[in-house]
Structure 1
Amino acid sequence: MLLKQLVSTCLISAGLVFGALAAEPEDTLILTLKDGDVTIALRPDLAPRHVERIKTLVREGAYDNVAFHRVIEGFMAQTGDVEFGDMSDGYNARRAGTGGSSLPDLPAEFSRTPFVRGVVGMARAQDPNSANSQFFIMFAPAPNLDGAYTVVGQVESGMDAVDKIKRGARNANGVVQDPDRIIDARIAADPQ
């Protein structure tokens, strides 16, 4: 098990994914985007509370139709504001990115796993213990995030669809006008 984690960390650091290390269906998140499916291996070994929160919200349908409200070229795509980001019910462009869910914020679960291309992390406010429902997918390495944000997963396939998410203006901190969305989110173990 320790060897598997070490190999996984090395591959993630290099921005690679090794098929034999694929997550079990219970820990596999599938996001359907306009350009295809994105398969994410969730990492309960790194962040059990955060992964459980994501799975709870997915199973409630909370991430369906939620905007990628902040997308910065060469950095990351952020989504998951289930309070103000639902583009089919109550979307608020001015507030998207400021909300969470009806569940309480989570205590930080920082790790040594680096933020490289394809890593999925939890968004938070200045308080390290303020992550709730929002998450982001990295376009490129960002060592300044290492050890300061919670890593919850790694894209296994579908980065080409992530790369096609509409970008926001850099001078507007990546806020996207008429954003793309998560069409559907599901856990692979669940019946469709």
Structure 2
Amino acid sequence: MLPHHRGGRGKSGLGGGIPRSTWIKYGAIGIFSLLCIKFLFFVDPLSVEDLLPFQNKTILVIGQFTVELFPKHAPLTVEHFEQLISSGYYKENAGIYRAEPGFVVQGGGFVHDKLSPLGNVQVEYSEERMVVLARNKDPLSGNTEFSIMLADNSAINAPQGTSPGYTAFGRVYSGYPTVVAIANDMAEGYLAKKNKDQAVTFNSIDTVSQLAPTTADLRAVSDAIHDAAATRFSVVMFSKTSCPYC
């Protein structure tokens, strides 16, 4: 015969004789704890993008090369440029009209005497590797013309003497060999306005969103990968420009 458990089976029912008031007390504590956990996980003030190592960034697609825009560094200029794109400014009577291999290519509606549908934007200071807005001597004249740096022209773009410098608002993200090929294939210098049909037109130009790393370490890896095929140099934007022989 198997031995009986010492003390017998005790009372049947939930809790083995624990008073109902005790169960109610601990049940209330448990429910409150679950509600607190739910609040922490579902009402956290941090956004999803703050928690993830990648977030959406704005990419400018110009034919076969792309430019990454930096609204954090130059919010007014990026907003201005996106409005120009959405207005269709660059879709006709616009293109690349200046090529200086090893220095810069420049584009916009200058050789077509095309007027901007928007007002000018002031200079915003940022850092190298950016796209910058072109302008004339007036620091509030940035508008429609832009340049892509083919060398490290940081010293030229930075403020110096009476020049306020140029706004850097993006960088070549991919397809830099295409930009170099354009510079090498075009006649060096500015196109004369009578030869405006020789400008390299923008077959397509639009902005899209794309995931990008948010941490410094991941950003360094991403830059290294893209720089292997692209460049560390910047794209710059201008408003109006002048050409002594156009």
Question: One fold, TM greater than 0.5?
Answer: yes
Give the whole-Å Cα distance in 1 for the aligned partners of 2:117 and 2:137: 20
SS of alignment partner, residue 67 of structure 2: strand
Q: 1:126 to 1:151 in 2, by over 3 A?
A: same
1:133 and 1:72 map into 2 onto residues whose CA distance is: 20
Superimposed CA distance per residue, residues 9-56 of structure 1 (whole angstroms, 9 cap, x where no aligned partner): xxxxxxxxxxx88x835x211001xxxx21111011111111011111
User: Is the 1:29–1:42 contact (alpha carbons within 8 Å) kept by the matching residues of 2?
Assistant: yes
Match of 1:154 among 139, 146, 171: 171
- Compared CA separation, residues 146 and 167, structure 1 to 2 (3 A): farther
- Return the alpha-carbon distance in structure 1 between the equivalents of residues 142 and 98 of structure 2: 16
Distance 1:168 1:123 in 2: 21
CA displacement, residues 135-190 of structure 1 (integer Å, 9 cap, x when unaligned): 111111112212410001011101011111143334xxx3364121211110114x
Map of 2:56 onto structure 1:
24
1:80 aligns with 2:108: yes
Aligned to 2:203: 183
Amino-acid identity (%): 28
Largest Rg, 1 or 2: 2
Q: TM-score, normalised by structure 1?
A: 0.67
How far residue 132 of structure 1 moved from its aligned partner, in angstroms, is: 0.6
Higher relative CO (CA 8 A, sep ≥ 6), structure 1 or 2?
1
CA positional deviation for 1:100: 4.6
How many residue pairs were aligned?
Answer: 145
Q: Aligned Cα RMSD in Å?
A: 2.4
Query: Larger helix proportion, structure 1 or 2?
Result: 2
Check conservation: 2:108, 2:144, Cα contact below 8 A: yes
**Counterpart-to-counterpart distance in 1, 2:65 and 2:115:** 22
The CA distance in 2 between the partners of 1:75 and 1:135, in whole Å, is 14
CA distance in 2 between counterparts of 1:44 and 1:134 reads 18
- 2:98–2:188 Cα contact (<8 Å) kept: no
**Corresponding position of 2:121:** 106
Which 4+ residue blocks in structure 1 deviate beyond 4 angstroms? none
